[in-house]
Structure 1
């Protein structure tokens, strides 16, 4: 099921549940149990809504920062590897060919082996890590014969060091999800916010039912989006290996 279709289903189910609850409360709950002072109730509901909006904002920050960081450092890693590949062309023929071959091998392993593991287990791939270590060892072992090769070797090492930092940050972000206490607070807060509307003693009219359905659907959609964003490399809105794939295509090694 596509993410768009899934979100529509979530909204439809939430709207149906919310409207159903409204109909049941308005039909079976005695009027004396419902709120009589609409002014005071409105002020209380505004406070509840503000607190819940703060929870939503905290949740959005908690899931978006690792997601954005993962995307940024995936692009940085691909860029650094491309630059290292270019500088490797200025080494001696044997060393340059070896470093270039290891760069493409690592990129292919990251795309084909590591990304599926990031999606499923939210951890890096040991074999891909070993390929990167082999690449860095080969770059360190390069011997130069003139100033141009020495400059190229240093630039290869600098770019690989930067790529290693980007890789470490990318992997550390893989398991960054919502703080454990926040999901129960968001779900409970949403339920309280919707349930509070039932206490206003709203008449069973179409506009009132539509209002309840809209609020419930939008609350469910917000939680659904946070859920899909929660882990940077998992679920529907995950960060993909496109920068590394584009790098391999540019290098002719896809």
Structure 2
């Protein structure tokens, strides 16, 4: 909630600042001074082109960060689902082995939620402990020497789920290091400056309706920039992916560190 309020406050401040700048510009530089009315058609065409190109750039940035967050959420759900499926398949193994599999699966879930997720939010490396736990889980999931045919099939199914889990974990780890291209950020900044500068050279702001539209444009631009910033960190603390799939299947993971 605090982030929402701060975002709205920043957008409102930027809108008011832009409106004040336009009022001062037209107060000290009245209409017609400097010949800004000449070539109005050309200026109008150029302003429309800049607005169109900037809208396309904003759309590209939003699609990119939304896909990034979607991939992070999908990999998290797949990883947790495969881990849970392994505990379900473990019912077909000998009781002692079933218990070991359940313990290792829960230990892995606790590690992901309590140790790895804070690192993901801080965009820090996850380390090797998670992979060590996966190797241990693989070792306890193998078929015992005296396994029945049914148990051998179950062991193969568990190893298949472990492969799915491994791939999803790699995707989650990769998504944590991805972000919006610095070149695209530069384009967004330049486009915002150009869009704002148009109002000083095209007569916008001489009426209250123009001023209100300007404030809306600036406020919306700031809101979209903040939205893109939050979505560009898929595991951030505002709009990031949460470890809910793990805590849903393994409730102890949510309270182990409490």
Q: Name the Cα RMSD after superposition.
A: 2.1
CA distance in 2, matches of 1:198, 1:251: 56
CA distance in 2, matches of 1:34, 1:137: 80
What TM-score results when the alignment is normalised by the length of structure 2?
Answer: 0.91
Instruction: Report matched runs for 1:59-70 at 5 Å.
Output: 59-70=61-72
Q: Deviations over 1:92-116 (max 9, x none)?
A: 1111111111001000110011000
Contact 2:86 2:158 in 1 (8 A): yes
Counterpart in the other structure of 2:173: 171
Counterpart in the other structure of 2:159: 157
Instruction: Report matched runs for 1:186-201 at 5 Å.
Output: 186-201=188-203
CA distance in 2, matches of 1:161, 1:196: 55
CA distance in 1, matches of 2:27, 2:77: 57
Contact 2:230 2:239 in 1 (8 A): yes
Contact 1:22 1:212 in 2 (8 A): no
Instruction: Report matched runs for 1:6-45 at 5 Å.
Output: 6-30=6-30, 31-33=32-34, 35-36=36-37, 37-45=39-47
Counterpart in the other structure of 1:229: 231
CA distance in 2, matches of 1:253, 1:15: 44
What TM-score results when the alignment is normalised by the length of structure 1?
Answer: 0.92
Contact 1:104 1:253 in 2 (8 A): no
Unaligned runs of 5+ in 2: none
Deviation at 1:43?
1.4
Counterpart in the other structure of 2:58: 56
CA distance in 2, matches of 1:251, 1:58: 37
Contact 1:92 1:144 in 2 (8 A): no
Contact 2:22 2:205 in 1 (8 A): no
Unaligned runs of 5+ in 1: none
CA distance in 1, matches of 2:121, 2:145: 39
- Equivalent pairs counted in the alignment come to 254
Deviation at 1:133?
2.1
SS at match of 2:177: coil
